[in-house]
Amino acid sequence: MSSPALSPQLVDRYIAVLDVPHRGPSLEALRELVAANLTRIPFENISKLYNLKHRGLATFAPIELYLDGIERYHFGGTCYANNFHFYTLLQSLGYDVRLCGADMNTPDVHLVMIATLDRREYLIDAGYGGPFLAPIPRDLHSDFVIVAGPDRYVLKPQDPSGRSQMEMYENDRLKHKYLVKPEARNIEEFAGVIANSFRPDATFLNALLLTRFYKDHSVRIHNLTLIESRGGESTIHQLGGRDELIAKIEEHFEMPRQIVAEAVNDLKELRDIWN
């Protein structure tokens, strides 16, 4: 799981998945890449369940398998897959970008990126299921707020140690947060946390969370709840059971019904992601 530069062929393939032009590093080009990555590659754990069962893969998919899943099944990934692979793409395109750990209840349980352009640092997170459709500046003097339906995401100004806290509110109630540590890290340092995410009691082996963003709206399925958001407005649908859940994932995420049904029906419980 080291992070050498991608081959030119893999860079071209990744860029084709994102459907963006191949350009040199700039803030405009980075914004385009981040928006494309968030709108074309969903946050989802169907692929995690599928690869574990069919391939015995107890880590995130390597880059060739990751891209194959996107192209064939409209897969994406959870935080380590989406953020690490996007990091390798940005690095291969010449960006000054580093991997950073983020603490939740457990140290380093989340992974993000910090890119530096024109002496400014930007937080990039393609693996939280949040509407981070553009690089977020870190040199803040006040809260940076992003609103998506009932959710509000707040990046706080850096603390004295240079750490940045991201808070996620649902209907004005704090549901989740993480603390970004700005030191550059190697992916191998997260091997233990990644391994723990495949334990039988791990969250994403006992729940479903899928989020897909568009330029003007988003869709999130959290177990038996479907939330469609547009601007500050949202519609919440309580699904009637697993059959309807399977149908809605197929409809909104365009994944093969057979793969979705197998993953959904193999889950013994549908745990609350945010607890």
Q: What is the pLDDT of residue 4?
A: 67
In degrees rounded to 5, what are phi and psi of residue 124? Answer: -125, 130
**Hunting for tokens 């996107």 — which residue is that?**
70
Confidence tier at 274 by pLDDT (50, 70, 90): low
Q: How many CA atoms lie within 13 A of 186 on its CB side?
A: 6
Q: What is the pLDDT of residue 214?
A: 86
Is 273 part of any domain?
no
According to DSSP, the β-strands at 151-155 and 164-170 are antiparallel
Is 26 part of any domain?
yes
Is 222 part of any domain?
yes
| 3-state secondary structure (DSSP) of residue 136 | strand
Domain CATH for 185: 3.30.2140.20
CA 82 – CA 132 distance, rounded (Å): 13
43 Cα distance to chain centroid: 5
Q: What is the mean pLDDT of the chain?
A: 94
Structural contact between residues 100 and 185, judged by C-beta atoms closer than 8 angstroms: yes
Domain that holds residue 109: 8-266
Buried b (16+ CB within 10 A) or exposed e, 51-76: bbeeeebebbbebebbbebbeebbbb
Over range 137-147, report the average pLDDT: 96
| 3-state secondary structure (DSSP) of residue 72 | helix
Structural contact between residues 153 and 165, judged by C-beta atoms closer than 8 angstroms: no
pLDDT tens per residue across span 231-264: 778 899 999 999 999 999 999 999 999 999 999 9
134 Cα distance to chain centroid: 13
Is 90 part of any domain?
yes
Confidence tier at 149 by pLDDT (50, 70, 90): confident
User: pTM of the entire structure?
Assistant: 0.95
The total of structural domains in the chain comes to 1
Q: Is the pLDDT of residue 195 over 50?
A: yes
Report which of 37, 129, 16 is spatially closest to residue 90, judged by C-alpha positions: 37
pLDDT tens per residue across span 79-138: 999 999 999 999 999 999 999 999 998 999 999 999 999 999 999 999 999 999 999 999
Q: What is the pLDDT of residue 168?
A: 95
CA 97 – CA 226 distance, rounded (Å): 34
Is 271 part of any domain?
no
Is 3 part of any domain?
no
Is 1 part of any domain?
no
pLDDT tens per residue across span 30-87: 999 999 999 999 999 999 999 999 999 999 999 999 999 999 999 999 999 999 999 9
Q: Is the pLDDT of residue 2 over 60?
A: no
Q: What is the pLDDT of residue 1?
A: 45
Q: What is the pLDDT of residue 3?
A: 56
| 3-state secondary structure (DSSP) of residue 111 | strand
| Residue 8: strand pairing partners | none
